[in-house]
């Protein structure tokens, strides 16, 4: 685990919030724009709560507890996240982290051990906290569970967590992190105090990205909808802010040229599904904005093509396209046949954009 620190646009809020320890709630829902640094905020908050000599309410980075946190082995800190995410974060070295244990009820055949890592927070991950609650905390301090993303809680694991929050164990703080609180169980929401994280101003976000050594930060910030942490991640992944295939797709859509969806799907499917699906979702948001006379949010560089495309579009079809893509992002991140899935998504896109002309 890397050093847990707040981003510059979070520090003032963090100092204020952590300064009121005597009135600190036992469960918080930390929410805000996707890619604004919520997970980092929650982990930095956990470090601050566990630190033995906080400075201004924030972690000192020097004490024993801070050392344990930065090595990912503080006994009073648990990160509850989907197995797939834990692997992505390199959790296999994180001692005392049970997020990657294989469920006991999984069949023991060879195939089962190779199953795709779970994208849900499973009920046994919540139940495994029970024995943790029964142990005294280090020097009688706090115990902190960071649960992210809270949308990954299933109905079963969400209800199991609800039971815990209804009779919260002593000295324990639960930090739930969510992009979309409205996707959580209302009963669970009612047990949490909400903490909305700020989105930095464009100037502050640009300054931070420049400080991170990101080239053309304005493009990436636009592609990330103004969320700087996501902008940095996009910039550090392969490829340009706007993939060439997307540009090509839009041009074919407005020129009315026949689209070779099979060939395009071949190209698209070379990037990981969540990545291209995300690009399609974002361009769909832009199409929806432009069709209502607003400026594109994610791909200002494609503004002209987008404007040309929406001239033939039906606003209702575009709004349905956005909903459909959002649904796919939740369901289909590991399709059996990536190319076929890409082709059907592109087909859907083409149909939604050419509706007025073909009808
Ligand atoms: Zn410390």
Q: Which candidate, 114, 123, 191, places its Cα nearest to that of 157?
A: 123
- Helix%, strand%, coil% for the chain, nearest 5: 55, 10, 40
Is this structure's pTM higher than 0.85? no
Sign of the torsion angle spanned by Cα atoms 322, 323, 329, 334: negative
CA of 60 to the centre of ligand 1 (A): 4
pLDDT surpasses 90 at 30: yes
pLDDT for residue 334: 64
Tell me which DSSP letter residue 176 carries. Answer: E
- State pLDDT tens for residues 266-320: 988 888 788 888 889 999 999 999 999 999 888 888 888 999 999 888 899 999 9
Long-range Cβ contacts of 47-51 (<8 Å, 24+ apart): 47/4, 48/14, 48/18, 49/18, 49/141, 49/142, 49/144, 49/173, 50/74, 50/76, 50/77, 50/141, 50/142, 50/144
In the structure, what pLDDT confidence band is assigned to residue 102 with cuts at 50, 70 and 90?
very low
127 vs 34: CA distance, rounded Å: 28
316 vs 291: CA distance, rounded Å: 10
Q: Write out the residues surrounding ion ligand 1, Cβ under 5 A.
A: 51, 59-60, 63, 66
Residue 158 CA from chain centroid, whole number: 18
CA of 198 to the centre of ligand 1 (A): 25
The pair of three-digit structure tokens given for residue 278, joined into one six-digit string: 């995300």
Tracing tokens 């209804």 back to the chain, one arrives at 166
CA of 59 to the centre of ligand 1 (A): 5
CA of 52 to the centre of ligand 1 (A): 5
pLDDT for residue 106: 42
CA of 70 to the centre of ligand 1 (A): 10
pLDDT for residue 242: 78
Average pLDDT along the chain:
86
CA of 337 to the centre of ligand 1 (A): 48
7 vs 208: CA distance, rounded Å: 9
CA of 14: how far to CAs of 17, 34, 36, 176, 269, in Å? 5, 18, 14, 16, 41
pLDDT for residue 307: 93
Which position has the higher pLDDT, 61 or 274? Answer: 61
Tell me which DSSP letter residue 194 carries. Answer: E
Q: Which candidate, 98, 138, 93, places its Cα nearest to that of 121?
A: 98
Question: Euclidean distance between the first and final Cα of the chain, in Å?
Answer: 55
- State pLDDT tens for residues 154-202: 999 999 999 999 999 989 999 999 988 888 999 999 999 999 999 999 9
CA of 66 to the centre of ligand 1 (A): 4
168 vs 141: CA distance, rounded Å: 16
Tell me which DSSP letter residue 91 carries. Answer: G
CA of 78 to the centre of ligand 1 (A): 17
152 vs 123: CA distance, rounded Å: 11
CA of 263 to the centre of ligand 1 (A): 55
pLDDT for residue 327: 86
Radius of gyration of the chain (CA): 22
- State pLDDT tens for residues 202-259: 999 999 999 999 988 988 898 888 899 999 988 887 667 778 888 888 988 888 777 7
Q: Which candidate, 145, 175, 131, places its Cα nearest to that of 80?
A: 145
CA of 45 to the centre of ligand 1 (A): 12
Residue 275 CA from chain centroid, whole number: 13
CA of 173 to the centre of ligand 1 (A): 18
CA of 339 to the centre of ligand 1 (A): 49
In the structure, what pLDDT confidence band is assigned to residue 3 with cuts at 50, 70 and 90?
low
CA of 47 to the centre of ligand 1 (A): 8
pLDDT surpasses 80 at 355: no
pLDDT for residue 100: 41
**What DSSP string describes 110-165?**
HHHHTSPPPSSBPHHHHHTHHHHHHSPPGGG--EEEEE--GGGB-HHHHHHHHHHH
CA of 83 to the centre of ligand 1 (A): 29
CA of 53 to the centre of ligand 1 (A): 5
Residues 6+ apart with CB under 8 A from 284: 318, 321, 322, 325, 349
The pair of three-digit structure tokens given for residue 80, joined into one six-digit string: 């509850």
CA of 153 to the centre of ligand 1 (A): 31
134 vs 132: CA distance, rounded Å: 5
CA of 56 to the centre of ligand 1 (A): 11
CA of 54 to the centre of ligand 1 (A): 6
Residues 6+ apart with CB under 8 A from 134: none
CA of 245 to the centre of ligand 1 (A): 48
237 vs 227: CA distance, rounded Å: 16
Please say whether the beta carbons of 195 and 1 come within 8 A.
Answer: no
CA of 176 to the centre of ligand 1 (A): 23
- Of 51-65, 92-106, 325-339, which range is least confident? 92-106
- State pLDDT tens for residues 103-161: 444 444 444 455 788 889 999 999 999 999 988 888 888 999 999 999 999 999 999 99
CA of 174 to the centre of ligand 1 (A): 20
CA of 55 to the centre of ligand 1 (A): 8
């Amino acid at each position: 685990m890397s050093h847990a620190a707040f981003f510059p646009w979070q520090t003032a809020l963090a100092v204020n919030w952590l300064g009121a320890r005597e009135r600190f709630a036992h469960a918080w829902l930390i929410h805000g724009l996707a890619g604004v640094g919520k997970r980092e905020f929650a982990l930095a908050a956990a470090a601050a709560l566990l630190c033995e000599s906080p400075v201004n309410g924030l972690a000192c980075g020097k004490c024993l507890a801070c050392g344990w946190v930065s090595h990912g082995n503080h006994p009073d800190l648990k990160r509850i996240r989907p197995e797939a995410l834990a692997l992505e974060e390199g959790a296999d070295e994180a001692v005392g982290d049970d997020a990657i244990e294989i469920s006991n009820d999984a069949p023991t055949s060879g195939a089962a051990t190779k199953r795709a890592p779970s994208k849900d927070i499973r009920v046994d991950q919540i139940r495994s906290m029970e024995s943790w609650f029964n142990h005294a905390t280090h020097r009688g301090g706090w115990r902190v569970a960071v649960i992210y993303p809270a949308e990954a809680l299933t109905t079963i694991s969400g209800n199991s967590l609800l039971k815990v929050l209804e009779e919260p164990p002593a000295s324990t703080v639960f930090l739930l992190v969510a992009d979309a609180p409205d996707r959580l169980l209302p009963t669970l929401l009612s047990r949490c105090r909400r903490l909305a994280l700020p989105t930095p101003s464009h100037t502050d976000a640009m300054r931070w990205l420049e400080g991170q050594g990101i080239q053309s930060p304005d493009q990436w910030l636009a592609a990330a909808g103004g969320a700087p942490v996501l902008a940095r991640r996009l910039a550090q992944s392969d490829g340009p802010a706007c993939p060439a295939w997307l540009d090509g797709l839009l041009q074919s859509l407005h020129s009315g040229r026949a689209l070779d969806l099979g060939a395009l799907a071949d190209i698209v499917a070379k990037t990981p599904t969540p990545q291209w699906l995300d690009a399609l979702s974002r361009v769909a948001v832009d199409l929806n904005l432009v069709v209502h006379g607003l400026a594109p949010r994610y791909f200002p560089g494609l503004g002209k093509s987008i404007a040309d495309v929406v001239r033939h579009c039906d606003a209702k079809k575009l709004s349905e396209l956005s909903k459909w893509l959002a649904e796919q992002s939740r369901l289909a991140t590991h399709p059996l046949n990536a190319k076929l899935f890409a082709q059907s998504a592109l087909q859907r896109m083409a149909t939604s954009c050419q509706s007025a002309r073909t009808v």
